[in-house]
């Protein structure tokens, strides 16, 4: 099989651990799955240009990179392309936030949806500060039944690390679910930590950063699931 090509939608900052460990974690999973993988960081300013879709067409999967971005519209364009074209998508940390914003803007038609992290005074804050700052902490995530996340973890709980302290605004939670989003992982208070789109071949995002806990002998199950979905698409499309 040809190497799996993953587009990482984001602006690379090598000193940020969730970004520095991303490629390594992909290779941990690829080795166990007997696959090869290459990742290419796609700057968000590039994705904001009119030819963005053509640029992403040849990739087998799209990873919503963690961390700040220079051009939000470029990030959202990459996620929208994955969602609408059945490309496997996995977003972590900020990649979770961007996925929620894209869904709110283009499925719920809330054109000005955004996060308090980017614009705290905005009128439509789909993501707001969590009650407690969990950045730098490891906490238990409860995995919900009848979900892709449960299938991948093969367990009903996991301990994960966070670099983010913004989450889904409770005011919009029901609207997101009614529009097709599934909350498949929560904290001890029921607050969303993993989301997915059940009608998509693989569309999953986590508020935590699984890549930082990956090891050669124990790649993270969510990253392994993402690569397996990419491989399936590669076989299908040749």
Going from N- to C-terminal start, the domains of the chain cover 4-237
Fold of 4-237: Rossmann fold (3.40.50)
Question: β-strands 203-206, 89-92: how paired?
Answer: parallel
**What is the pLDDT at residue 221?**
96
How far apart are the C-alpha atoms of 66 and 63, rounded to whole Å?
9
Q: Which of these ranges, 1-5, 47-51, 177-181, has the smallest mean pLDDT? A: 47-51
Question: Rounded to a whole number, what is the distance in angstroms from the first to the last CA of the chain?
Answer: 9
Q: Residue 190 is encoded by which pair of tokens? A: 């029921």
Mean pLDDT, residues 21-33: 91
Q: 3-state class of 185 per DSSP?
A: strand
**What is the pLDDT at residue 238?**
61
**What is the pLDDT at residue 187?**
93
pLDDT band at 21 (very low <50, low <70, confident <90, very high): confident
Report whether 62 contacts 95 (CB < 8 A).
Answer: no
How far apart are the C-alpha atoms of 93 and 207, rounded to whole Å?
4
**What is the pLDDT at residue 233?**
80
Of 219, 172, 217, nearest to 195 by C-alpha is 172
∠ Cα 124 80 51 (to 5°): 120
Which residues have CB under 8 Å from 26's CB, separation 6+? 6, 37, 39, 63, 211, 223, 227
Q: 3-state class of 166 per DSSP?
A: strand
Calculate the average pLDDT of the chain.
91
**What is the pLDDT at residue 236?**
72
How far apart are the C-alpha atoms of 113 and 104, rounded to whole Å?
6
Of 205, 92, 226, nearest to 152 by C-alpha is 226
Q: Residue 184 is encoded by which pair of tokens? A: 């498949």
Give the percent of the chain with pLDDT over 70.
100
Q: Check pLDDT > 70 for residue 111.
A: yes
How far apart are the C-alpha atoms of 19 and 42, rounded to whole Å?
13
Mean pLDDT, residues 220-238: 87
**What is the pLDDT at residue 222?**
96
pLDDT for 130-148, tens place per residue? 877 787 788 999 999 999 9
């Amino acid at each position: 099989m040809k190497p799996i090509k993953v587009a990482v939608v984001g602006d690379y900052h090598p000193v940020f651990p969730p970004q520095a460990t991303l490629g390594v974690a992909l290779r941990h999973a690829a080795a166990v799955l007997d696959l090869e993988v290459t990742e290419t960081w796609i700057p968000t300013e590039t994705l904001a240009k009119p030819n963005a879709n053509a640029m992403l067409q040849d990739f087998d999967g799209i990873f919503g990179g963690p961390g700040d971005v220079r051009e939000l519209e470029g990030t959202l364009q990459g996620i929208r392309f994955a969602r609408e074209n059945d490309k496997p998508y996995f977003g972590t940390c900020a990649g979770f936030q961007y996925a929620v914003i894209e869904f709110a803007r283009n499925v719920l038609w809330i054109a000005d949806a955004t996060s308090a992290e980017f614009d705290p005074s905005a009128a439509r804050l789909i993501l707001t500060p969590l009650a407690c700052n969990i950045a730098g902490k490891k906490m238990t995530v409860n995995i919900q039944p009848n979900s892709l996340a449960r299938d991948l973890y093969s367990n009903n709980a996991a301990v994960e690390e966070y670099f983010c302290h913004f989450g889904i605004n409770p005011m919009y939670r029901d609207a997101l679910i009614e529009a097709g989003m599934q909350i498949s992982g929560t904290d001890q208070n029921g607050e969303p930590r993993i989301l997915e789109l059940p009608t998509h071949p693989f569309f999953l995002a986590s508020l935590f950063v699984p890549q930082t806990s990956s090891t050669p002998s124990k790649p993270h199950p969510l990253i392994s699931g993402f690569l397996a979905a990419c491989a399936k698409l590669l076989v299908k499309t040749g």
